[in-house]
């Protein structure tokens, strides 16, 4: 049937979710951003190019899997310093990182010693980067449409309004 929307099945959409709080995400954000940079950028590129989230399910699964693997590694190697760090962030009223610098330093040292991950410098993750992808360039349906016709010529004479402009009533 033309025009019918193909919805993915529940099996295609079923993935294990990353069930962590905002404090945990905030505490892990810098290291997660550097470790899962490629899958995240692949997914965002797919979403931007395709304009259809159904076409990016594979990339979304890769992002989810990277996040799960990341938190599993943290749990195995640096669970105690990480728990202290995110708990400090959670207990501060506005989840401010500046109040938990001691715990952050302990966590960063643990991650550096046991996993070899260096905390990225400020602004490093927000730099513009090119993403090399294996996906083919999507077809742009807007380029295949015929161009619209120019405005048709006005038939007849255009006369001014007999009662003048009605803008007068709305300008006070």
Residue 28, burial from CB neighbour count under 10 angstroms (0-12, 13-18, 19+) = buried
pTM: 0.76
| Residue in 48, 39, 15 with CA at minimum distance from that of residue 133 | 39
Q: For all residues of the chain together, what is the average pLDDT?
A: 88
101, part of any domain: yes
| Structure-derived torsion over alpha carbons of residues 94, 98, 102, 104, reported in degrees to the nearest 10 | 80
72, part of any domain: yes
150, part of any domain: no
49, part of any domain: yes
Q: Looking at per-residue confidence, does 108 or 5 come out higher?
A: 108
Residue 19 CA to residue 16 CA, distance in Å, equals 9
Domain that holds residue 103: 13-134
Beta strands in 26-171 (DSSP E): none
Give the pLDDT confidence score for residue 98 in this predicted structure: 92
82, part of any domain: yes
163, part of any domain: no
Residue 115, burial from CB neighbour count under 10 angstroms (0-12, 13-18, 19+) = middle
**Assigned token pair, 160:** 């001014």
The structural domain count of the chain equals: 1
Mean pLDDT of 79-102: 94
The pLDDT of residue 56 is above 80: yes
The pLDDT of residue 17 is above 60: yes
Residues sharing a CB contact under 8 Å with residue 71, sequence separation 6 or more, in sequence order: 18, 20, 28
At 151, the pLDDT band (50, 70, 90 cuts) reads confident
Residue 71 CA to residue 63 CA, distance in Å, equals 13
């Amino acid at each position: 049937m033309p025009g019918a929307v193909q919805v993915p099945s529940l099996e295609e959409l079923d993935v294990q979710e990353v069930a962590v709080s905002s404090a945990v995400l905030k505490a892990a954000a810098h290291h997660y951003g550097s470790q899962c940079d490629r899958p995240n950028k692949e997914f965002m590129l797919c979403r931007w190019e395709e304009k259809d989230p159904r076409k990016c399910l594979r990339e979304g699964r890769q992002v989810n899997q990277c996040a799960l693997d990341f938190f599993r590694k943290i749990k195995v190697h640096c669970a105690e310093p990480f728990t202290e760090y995110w708990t400090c962030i959670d207990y501060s009223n506005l989840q401010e990182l500046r109040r938990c610098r001691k715990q952050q330093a302990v966590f960063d040292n643990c991650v550096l010693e046991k996993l070899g991950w260096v905390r990225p410098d400020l602004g490093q993750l927000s730099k513009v980067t090119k993403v090399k992808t294996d996906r083919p360039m999507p077809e742009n349906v807007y380029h295949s449409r015929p161009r619209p016709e120019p405005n048709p010529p006005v038939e007849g004479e255009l006369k001014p309004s007999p009662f003048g402009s009605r803008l007068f009533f709305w300008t006070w």
